[in-house]
């Protein structure tokens, strides 16, 4: 029950930040209007962090960062080689499909007696 109230409070904080953006209007600089939205979202994130689902979400985010650091990214040379292989495969498949299409078209025309 308390988690639901905290999530409701977080939603209200976001709405308050957005309301501040529109209520301030042309009276203040755009920077302050944007800061009101960012403050509302920031405070909402702090409140969400205190809920059980929020803690699970932030733990998932931290685990994702750890896993992303484990990724071995290809070198420039490997990337260029694989790009070349993909392009070559695409060209070969295009030629193959064009050949099959031409042969089937010729075969159907011959079977229908429309040889040209």
Q: Can you give the pTM of this predicted structure?
A: 0.56
Distance in angstroms (rounded) separating the CA atoms of residues 35 and 15: 14
Instruction: Name the nearest CA neighbour of 6 among 58, 57, 54, 42.
Output: 54
What is the model's pLDDT at position 26? 78
Does residue 105 have a pLDDT over 70? yes
Which tens digit of pLDDT belongs to each residue from 42-81? 999 999 999 998 899 999 999 999 999 999 989 999 999 9
pLDDT score at 82: 97
Per residue in 17-38, pLDDT (tens digit) is: 999 889 887 778 888 889 999 9
Contacts of 57 (CB under 8 A, 6+ apart): 48
What pLDDT score does 115 carry? 64
């Amino acid at each position: 029950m308390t988690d639901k109230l905290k999530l409701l409070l977080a939603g209200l904080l976001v709405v308050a930040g957005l309301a501040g953006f529109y209520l301030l209007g042309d009276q203040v600089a755009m920077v302050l209007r944007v800061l009101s939205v960012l403050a509302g979202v920031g405070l909402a994130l702090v409140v969400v962090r205190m809920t059980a689902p929020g803690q699970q979400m932030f733990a998932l985010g931290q685990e994702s960062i750890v896993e992303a650091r484990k990724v071995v990214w290809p070198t420039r040379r490997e990337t260029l080689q694989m790009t070349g292989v993909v392009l070559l495969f695409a060209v070969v498949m295009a030629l193959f499909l064009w050949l099959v299409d031409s042969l089937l078209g010729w075969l159907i025309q011959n079977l229908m007696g429309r040889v040209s």
